Amino acid sequence: MQFKDIPGLEEIKHRLRQTVLENRISHAQLFYGEEGSAALALARAYAQYITCLDRQEGDSCGVCSSCIKSQELIHPDIIFSYPVVKSGAMARDSRSNLQIEKWREIIQENPYIGPAQWYEHLGVENKQGMIYTEESDEIIRKISLKSFESEYKVLILWLPEKMNANAANKLLKSIEEPPDKTVFLLVSIEPEKILPTIMSRCQALKIPKIDHDSLRRFLQERYRLTEDELERAVSWAGGNVRDALQLAEGKKEENEFMELFIRWMRLAWVPDVPGLTTWTDEMASLGREKQKAFLKYTLHILRENLLLNILPSNKKINRMTKQEHEFSKKFSAFISAENMEKLHDLLNKAFDHISGNVYGKLVFMDVSLKIHKLLKK
Ligand SMILES: [Zn+2]
């Protein structure tokens, strides 16, 4: 992860780079910010900058062997530590590294997560994670080794507030006097819950919210949103990167569904069988959960079309976007109370079939041909 992958925070990024360029990296630092902040992302970018072999003034190079490994989260000198839940396979061994594959998956996709998303990804939602004494021992062991490739060894410890007292006390001495060229980067959401003795040994840096314009640019570069959607996402997120991403992802799916729906209805109307074959192939590749979500979306739009048909002047009750509404102006003429009842049953049955593992391609082709008949009635 490079600094440029993170929206805004230019001043903080500059300060962090300067510590490296001027050779005054503190050996114990605490980045803290509310859930969804860029604290963990910044720790990653900082670690990559520290270990980069061809460091530029504004950022890590992004292409040296060290940067590549850092980006893939496999750099041997960048160690991650994070809370886990002692249950199932981890009941006897609670070292973070046992979950490194899962950690890489989620952090690669979204470095702005909170603990709930992490536990959900671990498959242990509704449980509280911890950093146990075993993990402290492991950290001490790892930092005592010589670094493999870089001048520095960097330990990114996510959520130090989840260390139990024993684990924290064990780490105290290392944080106070780490081996030479070792950097502790603690990343916290609730710094007030960190043991004061740990807290007092770190140089703390508050990671603020992202400013409106930077967040807006960040989303604009990554998602195809309309001006309206963009503005809404940015103001709703209020500087929180995770929330902004979540909203934009949701929008992305909604737009994708709308496009699929409109195409589907046009093909079914004809019916264009070769076109429908391509369309069902596409649907089948989406995976079961998404197929189910799409069926729900279809039901929602059809219901809205029925409302539009029987109460065309009542705009207030309509819950469609501008583009959906545009399509529905003409399409709604074909949705009546009579065929809606049958469409409703048809889509619900399809939903059950998909849930029950019936092959998606067959289900969607069958539904398409039945929709054709119902629309023509
Ligand atoms: Zn590099």
- Ligand 1: distance of its center to the CA of 203 in Å? 26
CA-based torsion, 247, 249, 252, 258: positive or negative: negative
133: domain CATH number is 3.40.50.300
Residues 103 and 223 in one domain: no
Residues 32 and 167 in one domain: yes
Q: How many structural domains is the chain composed of?
A: 3
Q: Which of 294, 315, 316, 377 is nearest to 341 (CA)?
A: 377
Residues 203 and 73 in one domain: yes
Which of the residues in the chain have pLDDT under 70?
A: 89-90, 125-126, 314-318
How many C-beta atoms surround the C-beta of residue 86 within 10 A? Answer: 15
- Ligand 1: distance of its center to the CA of 151 in Å? 13
Q: Rounded to whole angstroms, what are the CA distances from 188 to 156, 168, 195?
A: 11, 14, 12
pLDDT of residue 317: 58
pLDDT of residue 63: 96
pLDDT of residue 255: 80
Last residue of a domain, one of 208, 239, 274: 208
- Ligand 1: distance of its center to the CA of 215 in Å? 26
Residues 197 and 233 in one domain: no
Residues 149 and 243 in one domain: no
Residues 279 and 134 in one domain: no
Residues 38 and 122 in one domain: yes
The token pair at 309 is 């048909």
pLDDT of residue 314: 67
Residues 271 and 146 in one domain: no
Residues 93 and 222 in one domain: no
Residues 257 and 236 in one domain: no
- Ligand 1: distance of its center to the CA of 61 in Å? 4
Alpha-carbon gap, residue 54 to 148, rounded angstroms: 17
Q: Rounded to whole angstroms, what are the CA distances from 278 to 174, 267, 360, 366, 373?
A: 60, 10, 13, 14, 20
Provide the residue range defining the domain that includes 43: 3-208
pTM value > 0.85: no
pLDDT of residue 125: 66
Last residue of a domain, one of 250, 273, 302: 250
- Ligand 1: distance of its center to the CA of 116 in Å? 32
Residues 127 and 151 in one domain: yes
Residues with CB under 5 A from ligand 1 (ion): 52, 54, 60-61, 64, 67
- Ligand 1: distance of its center to the CA of 239 in Å? 29
